[in-house]
Amino acid sequence: MAYVNIGEENEQVEFKKSTGELNEGVISIASILNKHDRGDLYFGVKNNGDVIGQEISDTTTRDVSQAIRTNIKSPIYPTIEKLQYGDRDVVHVKFEGKRRPYVAYGIPRIRIADEDTQMDQELYREMLNARENRTDSWETKPSKYHISDIDKEVFDGYLRKARQVGRISLDSDDPQYVMTKLELADGDTLLNAGAALFVNCGINELQMARFASDERLTFNDIKRYTGFILDLADKTIVYVADAMDWRVEFDGSLERKEFPEIPVDAVREAVINAFGHRIIESGQSVEVAIYKSFIEIYSPGKSRMM
């Protein structure tokens, strides 16, 4: 294979020779997040950027994911993929998060040049206080959109369904009145939560993929959408229903009855919750990953649905 070099380590990029250095890699992720909110980690690359590759088994990416999920607090949800340089395989971890401070194996560290240095207690307390004292959540801040930007068809559909299940008993369909009562607007200005629900403004992003196995290595299909939360939930149902196996039962009637592996209503509820609980500032999309034997729904927020 020809010589390949992918650059130098810096405050946002870390190289490890193999996943034998997984613990050290997890520490680097937390350190980089505490300094820059995002970064990249590569396994199978020397410190000088030379690609040496490493063997990637069926469980490699899952081992990396579990190590990150178990040992970094606050939680993050990285993208982990296999890259190939010639005949050499590399594991790439792309990560981001804005809930500093991050702690790896119980110790807070911060990135200085290409080193992971233990954070002093004063800085740690400053970061912790800044995070815990945040009272101005994204959802309650004014958006750049107004009542006139609301999609009337989506708004009317929401009201109709909410009334059918007894969740709303308002005596008017006027958008200004409804949005004010639901605390989704301040005067004529929509709050971010109101814009996310009723304005097709790109706030909500959904990524769905089907993988060939139970590992996040080779995908057979991938789709990405933006739009209204309820519409994205409907798109998820169609995508998941097409990917699942359906059990067929005959009860003596002329028509056969089909039952999905997972109730579609449960999938819909999980996706809506994923949007509702996500940390919007992360810039990450809600993800639906369909593996050979299970489905994973990921929200870049405080919870993770399986």
Cα separation, 192 vs 137, in Å, equals: 10
**pLDDT of the residue at 301:** 59
DSSP-derived 3-state class of residue 223: strand
**pLDDT of the residue at 105:** 93
- Strands 103-104 and 13-16, how do they pair? unpaired
State the helix-helix crossing angle for 229-243 and 152-164, rounded to 10 degrees. 70
Q: Beta partners for 142?
A: 191
**pLDDT of the residue at 76:** 86
CA 161 to chain centroid: 27
Region class of 100: left (phi > 0), else alpha (psi between -120 and 50), else beta: beta
Helix, strand, coil percent values for the chain (each to nearest 5): 35, 30, 35
pLDDT tens-place string over residues 39-75: 999 999 999 999 999 999 989 999 999 999 889 988 8
- Amino acid present at 156: D
**pLDDT of the residue at 117:** 95
Question: Which pTM value belongs to this model?
Answer: 0.51
pLDDT tens-place string over residues 73-109: 888 889 999 999 999 999 999 999 888 899 999 899 9
The residue ranges of the chain whose pLDDT is under 70 are 1, 132-137, 249-252, 254, 260, 281-283, 301-306
- Strands 142-146 and 189-191, how do they pair? antiparallel
**pLDDT of the residue at 39:** 96
**pLDDT of the residue at 107:** 93
Domains in the chain with CATH codes: 13-132 (3.30.950.30), 138-198 (no CATH), 205-298 (no CATH)
**pLDDT of the residue at 138:** 75
Q: Write out the two tokens for 260.
A: 């999905």
